Structure formats: structure tokens, C-alpha cells
Amino acid sequence: MSLRIGDVAPNFTALTSQGEINFYDYAGDSWVVLFSHPADYTPICTTELGRTASLSDEFAKRNVKVIALSVDPVDKHQGWIQDINETQNVEVNFPIIADESKEVAEAYGMIHPNASETHTVRSLFVIDPDKKVKLIISYPASTGRNFQEILRVIDSLQLTANYSVATPADWQDGEDVVVVNSIKTEDIPSKFPKGHRVVKPYLRFTPQPNK
């Protein structure tokens, strides 16, 4: 099965480093970042999980819960977490799924046979409070993720979920945004009173409305 943007994220119950969880119960009314790793005790994954832990306050202020996955068992996760905490100077405070059966990996399309038939690639899903998949990124095993980009995309997704805007290339939180084309130019002042500028009839900018 291969998930696509807009699909409902599959629910599951699984053992994790923090005990058994039901994914939907864990998510609650929060946004969720679900991301997979090829295996425990691998160097790039160690840095990624450490970076995730160091950004816990950033995820929390965005109402985002984090949950990781690898196909290794819980006891291996526990030992690996100790290594992560020691080497990355953090405290891993989010669950890591022990997906030994590969049930979750298969449901989310995390196994790419041309990369590996037994291990997950570095897949990452951002899931909204309605349990809809809003973002999918897959990285090869050799390349660590850019977590500032992940935070940037979450900022964009949360902004555009609440306002009739889109974010341009390289946008950062606080910068101008694009008014969506479904809004007529003559209607922009009433919807975006901070002002706007028209570059082309289809390209209209306005200050970020929630700042």
C-alpha cells in the first residue's frame, strides 16, 4: 500500500519504547510527525533522533507529537535510546515503535524493495488532527533529514489550513504569503486588511495574516 497526500493515515496498535499504544489515541487532537528508520544503532538515525529530542519544545509549541519507527524489537530500542541520550546530550521523550512484523511499515509504504526488502527507508509523514496525511518525504539511508525544513513545512501547513493563503518558495514564518487564486483581487482588502501587492493577476502577496 502506498499512501498519498490527503489520504487518511491508517490507525494501528503497536508496542513501543513507551509501552503499547493506539496511534489515534496517541495523536488525539494534535498534529503528528511519524518517521521511520532503517534500523537501530545506525549512525545517521542516532543523530536524527537526537535532533528530534532537542527540538521537543519547538514541536510542542506547534501542537505536534512525534513518534518514530524501526523494525527492531523494544529491548533493542531501549538500549539504543541510552546511546542516543549519551552521545547527543538529549533525553528521548517520544515513543519508538517496534515494528517487527512490519505491519505499520507496510501500511504506510515505508519499505521500498529496490532500496531494501527488509528495512524501512527514511519516510516521514506529517498528519493533521483529522488524521489526514498532509506531507510525505522519503530520504535514502545515506542522507539525514533537515529538521528545520520539517518545522518550516509544519508552519506552512498550519497557516494554510486556517487562511486562504499559500507559501512561496523558501518561505519562512513571518514572511509575506500568496493569496490563493480562488479569492478575487477586489475581495483581498476585506479578507486581508494588512494590505497586499499585485505582481501579476495570479500572483498576489499579503503579510502573513496570523502575525
> Who's near 31: CB < 8 A, 6+ residues apart?
62, 63, 64, 65, 126, 127, 128, 129, 154, 157, 158
Dist CA 56 CA 79 (whole Å): 21
Annotation marks residue 45 as catalytic: yes
The pairing of strands 31-36 and 64-70 is: parallel
Give the active site residue among 34, 45, 126, 188.
45
Please name the amino acid found at residue 201: P
Phi first, then psi, for residue 83 (nearest 5°) are -65, -45
Distances (CA, A) of 40 to 10, 94, 146: 24, 15, 20
DSSP for residue 186: G
Dist CA 130 CA 182 (whole Å): 24
Q: Which residues are catalytic?
A: 45
